[in-house]
Structure 1
């Protein structure tokens, strides 16, 4: 199973051109028709973004990805007086796998008045992988605020811990009809978490995700490429800037041995970030 993550910068390339179809064509080709695609910085009606105009990029993604179901989780959802349309900005998951549950959730947003900030969100699905239920999360953590970024990383640890506990001790089966709110649901112990974490490996938010006596998350690049540093993923092709590593794919402990390959597209200039592709497969074919 192939999973691709990419901060697409509202589909704006280094050349300044905003083109949803161009970016997604590259994602499908380079990613070998991935089963799951996680995108960050997808906009709806955000006229203030350079080149984005008032486009509904979620609708454009759906049109460009036939055969995929598309699930959007806006972190910013504004409809202020004077706005003709709701302005939304957030994360998106597109999948070719059957979807069992849709469960996005907002991330912590503690006060930090010294820096600019905006809300953040986790787009999350439970899908039916070839081996069973799998949770998938796509997120984009705070850029300017280290306080918010750390709180958000800690929330992602808590999300996995709680979900695993529920999967190991699921709710009692009731006698409700199958179309009622108390119906039985699929729960998954293991998960994949991807996105732009705005945290280099030395950052406290990254450490909160992967450190501890029993780490909740494992860096998939490290699992697939032991001893080889991951290439930078941000500002790689922008003149006068220092490239930074801040985009990752993480897996839970039960999937660590299933990571077959993780690669970074170091060449594309279709965003200010580079996409990452992970291939996941059980050790023994199912």
Structure 2
């Protein structure tokens, strides 16, 4: 069984307002001991915590706390800090299995002309090819726009185009590695598998326009995305992933796991955490055979 966990850790929020990476990893271990892959969103570097204390470099901190794991990062936000350093926010994949390739896709950020204006920030998709015991697996870790539906729909369209692009790569015969067939050349072939996962914080509700747009069939042989919750729990309402411990609100679903249709038969489980922690989001765990 291959287990993939996804969680928006919201910059390692702690209930008291600081940042606590150890608490994040302890929570993950309670919910999903022995998970094979971690897909984390809102990993931060150089931003202060909610209480004003230093948030630290969480990309480096997580890698340091996971010795022997293979880690890849992608920054959606990368700006100059007042002290001359960098402020970064993005996604991270940590895997017990080797990462054969890393691709970082900046997602569209069109101007939203709504009135009144809505805040927004750049977004990114972190694509990794994992060398799993069942063969190469393509994994995309994303965090889409919250305030602007215009931007979120553009980002979903880009993810669909990436799926089509990857499918054509998977179906194409590998080209020569480069001059002389040098295996150490940057042209050396690395597979971009047809079997794919898409996980993260999508900032969309089940059945919404955004949710339906992602699941639309393609006009060619590209395998469409399937909602893993619907595969595991057909006919059941999505379990909430946000606000489970908010006494002043109603919990709702923003976090998902999608699989390419050619991988749907391997889905064996999907469950949502119940952690009482600093992040408003709950982790979800996808299991494949």
Q: TM-score, normalised by structure 1?
A: 0.92
SS in structure 2 at match of 1:6: strand
Match of 1:221 in 2: 229
1:136 aligns with 2:139: yes
Match of 1:104 in 2: 104
| Residues 14 and 238, structure 1, Cα contact 8 Å, conserved in 2 | no
Match of 2:206 in 1: 201
SS in structure 1 at match of 2:88: strand
Query: CA, structure 1 residues 219+107, in 2 after alignment: closer, same or farther (shift >3 Å)?
Result: same
Stretch moving more, 222-231 or 43-52: 43-52
Match of 2:282 in 1: 274
Match of 1:284 in 2: none
Match of 1:235 in 2: 243
Match of 2:194 in 1: 189
**Per-residue deviation at 1:59?**
1.4
Stretch moving more, 254-263 or 211-220: 211-220
SS in structure 1 at match of 2:181: coil
**Per-residue deviation at 1:33?**
1.6
Match of 2:122 in 1: 119
| Residues 13 and 49, structure 2, Cα contact 8 Å, conserved in 1 | no
**CA-based RMSD:** 1.8
Residue 168 of structure 1: which of 167, 171, 175 is its match? 171
Runs of 4+ in 1 over 6 A off after TM superposition: none
**Per-residue deviation at 1:17?**
4.1
Aligned pairs, how many? 280
Q: TM-score, normalised by structure 2?
A: 0.91
Match of 1:70 in 2: 71
1:247 aligns with 2:247: no
Query: CA, structure 1 residues 201+34, in 2 after alignment: closer, same or farther (shift >3 Å)?
Result: same
Alignment of 1:79-98 (within 5 A): 79=80, 82-98=82-98
Task: State the alpha-carbon separation in 2 of the partners of residues 269 and 120 from structure 1.
Answer: 25
1:154 aligns with 2:157: yes
**Per-residue deviation at 1:16?**
2.8
